């Protein structure tokens, strides 16, 4: 179906801001962007006109690293749980949670996560999944929930780890290979995949070498947690005599297709090596703050020309909040209000994240411009001050929080998946009622009841 988005303030992410503009969508792509004098009316038999008057129209956002299954941990209280570091967080909460995920919990967590991504204007997600007791077919199930039922563009992977033994590591490897085979034989560009790995400190050299051998014939790279906690570096040095980046690189795993989440505890030589290999790093500031993991050297990574994007790491699904937190964290960490600018962080969200998605899906994303896929977010944002191309990022930073804005309409691949703040394909209250029932049973299992 064809659509005309009419009357909004259009931020193209391509050097233009158009007041009272129009976006014409045909066959999943943007074909025209401009004013009413440039784009005529759309007759009913040719498609639908959507009134975007006094709304902000912008490209749909990309979440470059998250864990959809984390949605079922919200509000979970565990007895005698007071972690002192990342290892204790993992063993005391997350590894207990993922081992209890069955088919139904995996399904509903993906559905809820996808709903909340849409409600935050996200149209593309890179998810990193783990459910050791429900591995085979888990990515296919997530795809059915996130892509088919909700409508999100999704790149999925399964977390391979040796922490549960060799047999489960092999199950994770097979799940990645099965999924990558599935998406490689598809004609659509709504699904993609990486080869998921947990982190260096839970992966043996044998597993890393095996994964590396498979990647030689795959048009993708790894998606791994890199130096999120100090234990990752300590383990690599003690067990293998190298720091994490060098260890992974020795196995041929760091290249231009690799997605490396966090990258907090890196030495200067490691940053230089990453600069040579050109992987994609994902900064997750709110998760890092919540876990007490540390502060990434965002400025140093950007100065080396590295591709550095943004993700939520499962701590909520708002990329605008992540954009805001990135700048605030760097300012307080360096003790300077001018250490980074809005343009620096804006580049991470509105350039680097889209380049990652374009590489993964093989299509043009991230601009409201002819020829680009129509992944579009329409926001109800009644600004009290003028919006211009020059101050657009400032409006996102200072204006879009709390009740000041609401994501009203979302398009993915030229089709509306959210209309008037309501899901097109599902009923949100029904989804949340089911999620509460499933999470209650899940929590009982985690607590050993």
Q: Is 257 within 8 Å of 220 (Cβ atoms)?
A: yes
CATH number among 3.90.79.10, 3.40.920.10, 3.40.50.10490, 3.20.20.140, domain 61-361: 3.20.20.140
Banded pLDDT at 445 (limits 50, 70, 90): very high
Q: Is 431 within 8 Å of 149 (Cβ atoms)?
A: no
Q: Is 171 within 8 Å of 136 (Cβ atoms)?
A: yes
Q: What are the domain boundaries of the chain?
A: 3-60+366-423, 61-361
Rounded CA gap, 90 and 214, in Å? Answer: 28
333-349: burial string, b at 16+ Cβ within 10 Å, e else: beeeeeebebebbbbbb
Residue (of 162, 192, 166) closest to 179 by Cα position: 192
What is the residue whose two structure tokens read 């989440």?
261
Looking at the predicted structure, is the pLDDT value of residue 1 above 90?
A: no
Rounded CA gap, 161 and 200, in Å? Answer: 9
- Segment 37-78, tens digit of pLDDT: 899 998 888 899 999 999 999 999 999 999 999 999 999 999
- DSSP secondary structure of 192-237: EE-EEEEEGGG--HHHHHHHHHHHTTSS--EEEEES-SHHHHHHHH
Which pLDDT does position 403 carry in this prediction? 84
- Residue-averaged pLDDT of the chain: 96
Into which CATH architecture does domain 3-60+366-423 fall?
A: Roll (2.30)
Q: Is 376 within 8 Å of 410 (Cβ atoms)?
A: yes
| Angle (nearest 5°) at CA 276 between 208 and 61 | 80
pTM above 0.75, yes or no: yes
Give, as one character, the DSSP assignment of residue 68.
Answer: G
Banded pLDDT at 149 (limits 50, 70, 90): very high
What is the residue whose two structure tokens read 């992987």?
279
Which pLDDT does position 449 carry in this prediction? 62
Report the pLDDT averaged over residues 405-420: 97
Q: Which percentage of the chain shows pLDDT scores above 90?
A: 94
Burial of residue 380 (number of CB atoms within 10 Å: 0-12, 13-18, 19+): middle
Residue (of 53, 71, 111, 6) closest to 427 by Cα position: 111
Report the pLDDT averaged over residues 168-189: 95
Which pLDDT does position 244 carry in this prediction? 98
Q: Is 42 within 8 Å of 22 (Cβ atoms)?
A: no
Rounded CA gap, 279 and 287, in Å? Answer: 21
Q: Is 64 within 8 Å of 353 (Cβ atoms)?
A: yes
For residue 275, give the 3-state DSSP assignment: helix
What length does the chain have? 449
Angle between helices 205-215 and 166-184 (to 10 degrees): 10
Residues 6+ apart with CB under 8 A from 442: 72, 97, 100, 101, 105
- Segment 434-443, tens digit of pLDDT: 999 999 999 9
Rounded CA gap, 254 and 273, in Å? Answer: 10
Banded pLDDT at 342 (limits 50, 70, 90): very high
Looking at the predicted structure, is the pLDDT value of residue 407 above 90?
A: yes
Which pLDDT does position 448 carry in this prediction? 86
**HSE-up (13 A, CA, CB side) for residue 215:** 23
| Angle (nearest 5°) at CA 108 between 103 and 109 | 100
Q: Residue 378's beta-bridge partner residues?
A: 57, 409
Q: Is 114 within 8 Å of 125 (Cβ atoms)?
A: yes
| Angle (nearest 5°) at CA 323 between 154 and 142 | 20
Report the pLDDT averaged over residues 238-254: 98
| Angle (nearest 5°) at CA 193 between 417 and 67 | 70
- Segment 91-128, tens digit of pLDDT: 999 999 999 999 999 999 999 999 999 999 999 999 99
Residue (of 160, 162, 249, 246) closest to 204 by Cα position: 162
- Segment 180-236, tens digit of pLDDT: 999 998 888 999 999 999 999 999 999 999 999 999 899 899 999 999 999 999 999
């Amino acid at each position: 179906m064809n659509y005309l988005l009419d009357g909004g303030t259009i931020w193209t992410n391509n050097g233009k801001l158009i007041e009272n503009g129009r976006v014409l969508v045909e066959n999943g792509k943007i074909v025209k962007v401009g004013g009413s004098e440039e784009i005529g009316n759309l007759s009913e038999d040719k498609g639908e006109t959507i009134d975007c008057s006094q709304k902000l129209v912008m490209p749909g956002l990309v979440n470059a690293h998250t864990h959809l299954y984390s949605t079922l941990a919200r509000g979970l209280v565990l007895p005698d749980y007071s972690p002192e570091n990342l290892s204790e967080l993992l063993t005391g909460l997350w590894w207990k949670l993922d081992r209890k995920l069955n088919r139904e919990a995996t399904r509903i967590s993906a559905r809820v996560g996808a709903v909340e991504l849409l409600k935050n204007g996200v149209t593309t997600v890179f998810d990193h999944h783990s459910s050791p007791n429900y591995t085979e077919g888990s990515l296919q199930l997530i795809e059915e929930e996130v892509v088919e039922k909700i409508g999100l563009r999704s790149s999925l992977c399964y977390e391979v780890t040796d922490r549960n033994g060799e047999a489960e590591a092999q199950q994770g490897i097979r799940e990645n290979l099965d999924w990558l085979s599935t998406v490689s034989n598809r004609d659509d560009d709504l699904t993609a995949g990486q080869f998921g790995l947990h982190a260096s400190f839970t992966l043996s050299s044998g597993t890393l070498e095996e994964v590396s051998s498979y990647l030689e014939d795959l048009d993708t790279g790894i998606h791994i947690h890199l130096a999120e906690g100090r234990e990752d570096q300590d383990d690599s040095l003690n067990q293998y005599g190298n720091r994490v980046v060098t260890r992974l690189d020795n196995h041929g795993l760091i290249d231009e297709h690799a997605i490396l989440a966090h990258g907090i505890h890196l030495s200067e030589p490691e940053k230089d090596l990453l600069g040579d290999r050109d992987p994609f790093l994902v900064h997750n500031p709110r998760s890092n703050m919540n876990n007490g993991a540390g502060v990434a050297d965002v400025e140093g990574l950007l100065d080396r020309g590295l591709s550095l994007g943004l993700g939520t790491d499962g701590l909520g699904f708002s990329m605008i909040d992540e954009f805001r937190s990135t700048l605030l964290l760097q300012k307080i960490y360096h003790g300077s209000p001018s250490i980074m600018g809005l343009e620096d962080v804006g580049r991470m969200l509105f350039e680097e994240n889209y380049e990652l998605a374009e590489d993964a899906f093989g299509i043009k994303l991230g601009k409201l411009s002819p020829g680009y896929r129509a992944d579009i977010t329409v926001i109800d944002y009644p600004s009290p001050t003028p919006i211009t191309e020059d101050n657009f990022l400032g409006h996102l930073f200072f204006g879009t929080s709390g009740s000041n804005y609401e994501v009203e309409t979302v398009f993915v691949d030229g089709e509306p998946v959210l209309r008037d703040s309501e899901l097109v394909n599902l009923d949100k209250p029904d989804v949340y009622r089911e999620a509460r029932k499933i999470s209650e049973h899940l929590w009982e299992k985690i607590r050993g009841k």
